[in-house]
Amino acid sequence: MQLRSDVKAFLVVLVVTTVALLGLIRFGVIEHLSYAFEKGRMRAQRESLPTPDKLSDLSRAGRTVAALVTPAVVSIETDRVAHIALRDPFAGHDTIAPRDTVPSPFEPSTDLPPDPSNQDNYRRRRHPPIVSQSVGSGFIFDADQGYILTNAHVVEHARHVRVYLADDRRTEADVLGVDVEHDLAVVHIALDRLHQIPMGDSLLTQVGDEVYAAGSPFGLQGTFTKGIISSANRRNVHIGGNVYASLLQTDAVITPGSSGGPLVNMRGRVIGINTAMATDTGEYDGVGFAIPSALGSKLIPELISGGPGELGVMVGTVTLSYWQEEAKSLDWTAPYGVLVGEVEPGRAAHRAGIKVNDIILHLNDTRIDTHDRLAQLTASTEPGTSVKLRIWRERKEIELDVEMGRRFAPRD
């Protein structure tokens, strides 16, 4: 009997509780209590976040670095010759011809007959020059002299270089030196009241260090991003035909237009020069590269001066197998000399009239045994010095006067 009474009591309580809950649900009491509980929980979480003063402390380092760095970061705009495929009316096949992208002072004529006596003038009138514009970044490393460091690919072959400063000033710039191999260049601006960023030591950089990248991605001047060093010594990176022995890798955002901007550490010192991103899509994928500041600092003096002497030729020693066979075809069998395989347009050798398949025998009175010997002699000759080259051409020796050029002189 006692058990039945307990069961009855339990059932009564259950029914009453159920009715009560149904009533609460019907009038929204439970939802109200649940909402009040969630609201209280969120308020407690919000109050646990850093106060405005604490947030200011956490952001102070980044804000300070940005304030110190961005006044010295510049946007660089260049005009350069673009190349497109044209139909050459004289050759009868597609050729690569230079064009410009600025408005031409005259409209192209399409009804001019070919004039073999003046082909260049015909091409210029039929296909007027067009200059393409590109935008990159750079930073002032010497405010007193107006020196800016950037990437070689930003200013190489540029007809005109314009620099836009963070204070909205704009000026024309001169390219002092370009090192295509290491993708570095120095340009000069003649302005006062400039700010600069000190160079840091990239050799002290380690994986996990926080860094900032500054520049003008897509022309958006004064852009400042944050990341870490993903690799302090990424080896053998292939970029644009060059192989870099060592680069800094970072996940700080580096996109088109960022090239040449600084990668700085938490002390606002340059540890890298932003140069490229790794991508399969053409969009940023979280992997960017910068040239270590240790290399940049080492090359800066030579970039400013234009570097050591250089002829601007690619040569091979005639005693080596491939080059030996080529030399024999030119009736040169002596065990010395270097065969010219390529002449760089606009360089000293090109201006002096040196041609492919010339064999360089002597520089002044020194016999040229190997290509290394020629490189040593040209590097030790003061740029601007006139030298005599004795060469083998068309089965006879001739002499040419050559004014020595500079290795890092801007390319035409």
Residue-wise pLDDT for 33-67, tens only, equals: 677 777 788 888 877 777 777 767 767 888 999 99
Mean pLDDT estimate for the chain: 81
Selecting among 75, 137, 230, 259, the annotated active-site residue is: 259
What was the pLDDT predicted at 321?
84
The answer to whether 183 is a known catalytic residue is yes
Mark the ranges of the chain whose per-residue pLDDT is less than 70. Answer: 1-16, 19-33, 55, 58, 80-133, 280-284, 412
Phi, psi of 308 (to 5 degrees): -75, 175
Residue-wise pLDDT for 147-191, tens only, equals: 999 999 999 888 899 999 999 999 999 999 999 889 999 999 999
What was the pLDDT predicted at 34?
73
Residue-wise pLDDT for 353-377, tens only, equals: 999 999 999 999 999 999 999 999 9
Q: What is the fold of 202-295?
A: Thrombin, subunit H (2.40.10)
User: What is the identity of the amino acid at 84?
Assistant: I
Distance (Å, whole) CA 154 – CA 310: 23
Show the tokens assigned to 362.
């002597």
The DSSP letter of residue 334 is: S
Distance (Å, whole) CA 24 – CA 9: 22
**Strand 386-393 relative to strand 309-310, pairing:** unpaired
Show the tokens assigned to 177.
């030196």
**Cβ atoms within 10 A of the Cβ of 107, count?**
8
What was the pLDDT predicted at 404?
94
Q: What is the fold of 309-406?
A: Pdz3 Domain (2.30.42)
What was the pLDDT predicted at 137?
95
What was the pLDDT predicted at 33?
66
Question: Residues with Cβ < 8 Å from 86, sequence gap 6 or more?
Answer: 94, 95, 96, 97, 99, 123, 127
The answer to whether 100 is a known catalytic residue is no
The answer to whether 115 is a known catalytic residue is no
Distance (Å, whole) CA 155 – CA 152: 6
What was the pLDDT predicted at 282?
64
Selecting among 179, 183, 251, 358, the annotated active-site residue is: 183
Selecting among 75, 127, 153, 216, the annotated active-site residue is: 153
Within its chain, how far is the Cα of 411 from the centroid?
17
Distance (Å, whole) CA 359 – CA 341: 9
Question: Nearest 10 degrees: CA dihedral of 304, 308, 314, 317?
Answer: -160
> Which 3 state secondary structure label does DSSP give 366?
strand
Distance (Å, whole) CA 383 – CA 344: 17
Sequence spans of domains, the chain:
2-48, 202-295, 309-406
Distance (Å, whole) CA 219 – CA 162: 13
What was the pLDDT predicted at 15?
65
Residue-wise pLDDT for 270-287, tens only, equals: 999 999 887 766 666 778
